[in-house]
Amino acid sequence: MNARSFCRAFFCAAVAAAPFAFPPNAAAQETIRFGAPLPLTGALAPEALKQQQGYDLWAEQVNKAGGITVGGKKMKVEIVYTDYQSNTPRAVQAAEQLITQGKVDFLFSPFGSGAAKAASTVSEKYRMPTIASTASSAQVYDQGYKYLFGTFTPNDTLTTPLTQIVAQTAPNVKRVAIIARNDLFPLAIAQEMEKSAKNRGLEVAMFEKYAINTMDHSSALAQVKAANADWIFVTGYINDLVLIRKQMSDQRIGAPVVTMIAGPAYQEFIDAAGAGAENISSAAWWHPAVRYQGKDLFGTADNFVKLFRAKYNSTPDYAQASSAVSGALFQMAIEKAGSLDREKVRDALAGMNVVTFWGPVHFGPNGQIDSLEPPVFQIQGRKAVVVHPPEIKQGELQLGVGMQK
């Protein structure tokens, strides 16, 4: 799928043949331009599509309502997409060219913690307010930068409740085997899992990293089997985790608890894994079951889900929701600032303390959100069932995945 086929927003400006070429903006005074460098092709294309869907839905709803109010004037939204082809150095290049050549007013970060961290230097250089909708690792926000904001809480906010729930539900679980994609976010969350497990008195029986684009995980899985683990914890992206789950089945490897992050949050994982998805646990930053009365354009999760289903004929996950709320946060900051002045909008983001359909949003001193409690869920009956927090709990954690030891 090329970049052009992804373009679905009212004012999408992606260019398939020349990803860093930008169309002229004849109505610059009437339009607010948001730059969105995404991996529209390559290994991360499925994740990029999710971000684009969230941005596009927000842009569509804003423009239907007449635009963003800036000092009493309504201005339409235009999203300028570029394809960095799942290559982090190109993501940095894309971000800079969106600012210098695309003349965007504000920026969304590239996908994932690694590319977001790399591109944040560009945002800081040009004093460009930037929201990262898919970056959770602490290493993204530890640079002392002032122009980067993120909608994902730190990785330990996922692993700590996971270990608490497993300890309460399955006290006989003692040994954990961890397999991690050697990439910034997957590796960082695996390392947080290692800390959380040890803090709960669990033994980390093995910790194995796999290279990006690995297709044969038999060696690592053989180590898992030899480790006699009660809990198998795997990190990676959708394609990685579908492949690993299949190879686990082929090698008849299972455990009382199997957790994968972040693939099971996506319906695509459930569809691809089929029966193999059953009872796999995970955690994410949002779930359609959350219930907040938001002050943003969407208002509630129910309304966001309704609008998303009407546009895409599917149920949104946390990646799509985070991208949509990132646009909504920019909208609220611009309207509060009453201006497109970058410094004023940056200050409005830094001082933000508001409830949205995503949840309460407040950014800490480092720019990372510090106001959410992410849901923990498990695939049961081919659906994601929330098991934590208690306020939105839908069921109990079930034990047993695959072949039992």
d(C-alpha 278, C-alpha 266), whole Å: 14
Tell me, what's the pLDDT at 29? 54
383: which strand partners?
380
DSSP string, 164-228: HHHHHH-TT--EEEEEEESSHHHHHHHHHHHHHHHHTT-EEEEEEEE-TT----HHHHHHHHHHT
Spell 372-384 as b/e; 16+ CB within 10 A means b: bbbbbbbbbeeeb
Tell me, what's the pLDDT at 37? 98
Tell me, what's the pLDDT at 363? 98
Mean pLDDT of 374-402: 92
Res. 401 pLDDT band, cuts 50 70 90 = confident
d(C-alpha 25, C-alpha 215), whole Å: 44
Residue with tokens 């950014």: 363
With 0-12 / 13-18 / 19 or more C-beta atoms within 10 angstroms meaning exposed / middle / buried, residue 211 is exposed
Contacts of 310 (CB under 8 A, 6+ apart): none
86: which strand partners?
none
> Is residue 35 predicted with pLDDT exceeding 80?
yes
> Is residue 10 predicted with pLDDT exceeding 60?
no
Secondary structure (3-state) at 3: helix
262 φ/ψ angles, rounded to the nearest 5 degrees? -120, 10
Q: Could you give the C-alpha distances from 36 to 133, 188, 404, in angstroms and in order?
A: 11, 24, 45
> Is residue 22 predicted with pLDDT exceeding 60?
no
Res. 391 pLDDT band, cuts 50 70 90 = confident
Q: Which of 116, 57, 64, 68 is nearest to 91 (CA)?
A: 116
Contacts of 147 (CB under 8 A, 6+ apart): 120, 123, 124, 127, 128, 129, 130, 346
Q: Per CATH, is 156-284+375-392 categorized as 3.40.1550.10? A: no
Asked if residue 362 lies in contact with residue 352, where contact means CB atoms within 8 angstroms, the answer is yes
The reply to whether the predicted model has a pTM over 0.85 is no
d(C-alpha 397, C-alpha 363), whole Å: 31
- Kindly list the domain boundaries of the chain, sorted by start residue: 3-153+288-362, 156-284+375-392
Residue of higher predicted confidence among 127 and 263: 127
126 φ/ψ angles, rounded to the nearest 5 degrees? -100, 5
Residue of higher predicted confidence among 27 and 230: 230
Asked if residue 179 lies in contact with residue 217, where contact means CB atoms within 8 angstroms, the answer is yes
> Is residue 1 predicted with pLDDT exceeding 70?
no
Mean pLDDT of 20-43: 76
Tell me, what's the pLDDT at 262? 85
Res. 95 pLDDT band, cuts 50 70 90 = very high
Q: What percent of the chain has pLDDT over 70?
A: 92
Res. 4 pLDDT band, cuts 50 70 90 = very low
Tell me, what's the pLDDT at 397? 96
363: which strand partners?
369
Over the stretch 169-181, which tens digit does the pLDDT of each residue have?
Answer: 999 999 999 999 9
Res. 291 pLDDT band, cuts 50 70 90 = confident
d(C-alpha 358, C-alpha 336), whole Å: 19
What average pLDDT does the chain have?
Answer: 91
> Is residue 72 predicted with pLDDT exceeding 60?
yes
> Is residue 350 predicted with pLDDT exceeding 90?
yes
Question: How are the residues of the chain apportioned to helix, strand and coil, as percentages rounded to the nearest 5?
Answer: 40, 20, 40
- Cα of 258 vs its chain's centroid, Å: 21
d(C-alpha 308, C-alpha 305), whole Å: 5
Q: What percent of the chain has pLDDT over 90?
A: 84
Tell me, what's the pLDDT at 16? 33
CATH classification code of 3-153+288-362: 3.40.50.2300
Mean pLDDT of 227-233: 96
132: which strand partners?
150
Res. 20 pLDDT band, cuts 50 70 90 = low
The half-sphere exposure of 15 on its side-chain side, counting CA atoms within 13 A, is 11
Over the stretch 119-134, which tens digit does the pLDDT of each residue have?
Answer: 999 999 999 999 999 9
> Is residue 379 predicted with pLDDT exceeding 50?
yes
Mean pLDDT of 185-192: 94
Residue of higher predicted confidence among 401 and 148: 148
Tell me, what's the pLDDT at 26? 42
